[in-house]
Chains A and B, each alone.
Chain A
Amino acid sequence: MSDLTHFTLLANATSVPWSDVPAWPVADFIDAIGAEITRGARLCSLFGVPEGDATQLVAVLAFDADSTLAIGRSTPLTGAFPSLTATHPQAHLFEREIWEQHGLTPEGHPWLKPVRRTHGGAPATGEFFRVDGGEIHEVAVGPVHAGIIEPGHFRFQCAGEEVLHLEIALGYQHRGIEEALVGGPHRTTLIQMETLAGDSSIAHATAHANLIEALTHIEPPLRAQWLRSIALELERLANHTGDLGALAGDVAFLPSSAACGKIRGDFLNLTAEICGNRFGRGLVRPGGCQHDLEPALAARLLERLITTLADSGQAIAWMWDAAAVRARFENVGTVFPAQASELGMVGPAARACGLVRDVRYDHPVGWHRFAQVPVTVWPDGDVFARARVRSLEIQRSGEFLCEQLGAPPESDLFEALDRPAPDTIAVALVEGWRGEVCHVALTDSVGCFRRYKITDPSFHNWIGLALSLRGTAISDFPICNKSFNLSYCGFDL
């Protein structure tokens, strides 16, 4: 990294005093972010911190190759700021969010509209990008869907079967979690973290716990770190298996569809063995873990895990062996590597475009400093690549678990916490099964949250789904959607 960086550098899951974060006038600040992104940084989060009547902008950047994060901020401002989106598209949603939350206008933003609400109305009542022409037809799907899924609105511009453009309007599940966290942590905070995106309970709870531990300057006991990494991989196994089954179901390939649905439940039950909840709720707590994994239970878990992994391997192999399935997945819903990189996509969706991007490898924290999972990459960017990355991650997470379950570290499980340090900002990244979960917390003068910013991987990736549909048949939307399987509530917060 060059000496030109004026951002404050820090590692994942650490904190710095707020006064050490450099503040620029906003135009210089935006230029500085742009320069860093051009040099290869990735925008993890960009948000506003209220300062009296004005707002300070804060940017968290990641230098993946250097395992380093960088924080910078602007001086307080009101009114408008120059938009970064035109030159660096990965800022597009963050700037819209700042406009929505703080009333600051990003000047020059090409498509400025609300992220989660249309003033007074539902998200779907807003303005949409339109294609005109005699043969163009518009298809509106949602927010109420035929399946039991979350609400979201999809607006397709089609020429016959071909989709020219898809725009996605979300916000139906906005619960005001970030607002509710101000002044916290409250008694309800952990429950809110575990239900931010219900299928990523462990990832979000771990990110929150890492953050609080960074703010209180403690290191959680090794055994807790070990247990968190096990729960995180179990979460990944369950979700990847379920989604591969759903992909098979969407192309009407019944053998894998039926088997994977059942095997997903088996993986969830393994998590339930550890903590009594299938989604791992109540396991991860700031300072450690609430449930231990005794040797007898670990041995039983390992035995069941080996059987379940063999089952899932078989069920997924049926899918790869069926030419009819491969033909449906190949060259459908392609996102090009350049697009993925420009848009700052994360997780399996980015790795399926050939981007080597995995928080467990790039910014290891907790148990991942001692035990690594190989990064899974596939070059093509289509539905096949995304499915392939997920099936390979199942194998690798499985191997990681089999190895780790046999070698538990001996230590306490929980360490008591002090109050968070005052006037400090901390960043925690966790590689959830969808990708990078980013939590940023800034404390006030008494150590309560002054601002808590959550960036779910879905926030980076929804635009990737929209792009994957360009030039694709509208009937292939379900498999494109399922190959990403992004979170609505994780986005809506």
Chain B
Amino acid sequence: MLEIRNLHARIVDDGTEIIRGLNLTVKAGEVAAIMGPNGSGKSTLSYILAGREDYEVTEGDILYNGRSILEMDPAERATSGIFLAFQYPMEIPGVATMEFLKVAMNEQRKARGEEPLKIPEFLKRVKEAAASLSMDMAMLKRPLNVGFSGGEKKRAEILQMKLLEPKLCVLDETDSGLDIDALKIVSDGVNALRAPDRAIVVITHYQRLLEHIVPDTVHVLYKGQVIKSGDKSLALDLEANGYAGVIGEAA
């Protein structure tokens, strides 16, 4: 489903190269964890997948279902089924959460050639999704993410993911800022989305999240490259021995 080939990318503003020849393949139905020390390029990778303009791909390609996405803008990527759950979701004053959800869901439907949702059906879906994440509907009456706590923002991200039904989910440090109860709720939400035709990429710093969302594959990112891949035992190994060993092997 996702194939990243020899990807090189830099920050547009200052030209700093962050991704330096990254290769990664994630199949449909797979949950892939990307781990790595601070500054290894994890968040950058997630932004590049989503199409943020602050980064420029200088070499290599990203194929999604066999097609390059490099020329697609963030909205086109999203409507083709790519979803990024942000590490730091933005607060957007003045944009009503419900209005935003409706617009976003209908954009997905439009891309699939479906009619816009009728209001009662829309409300029903939002209510169900919110209930499954133990979210209060009152929260959704506020402007988008405004005044949400860190944990509420993360839940709101997973809520959006559920409602938009993407095919490739990228979760950027979704565990940061979550207490253990919230971590459980969010993880359950993600696990409920596991499906044979869906791939999930979990970017995390810690093994903790992977106890709840058990990955099929684990990839270690260091200095903008995947230096080691394995199964879930690799994550346990990293937890026990730190990144130093893996980095040493690769060097």
Chain B associates with chain A: no
Residues in B lying within 8 Å of A, measured CB to CB: none
Residues in A lying within 8 Å of B, measured CB to CB: none
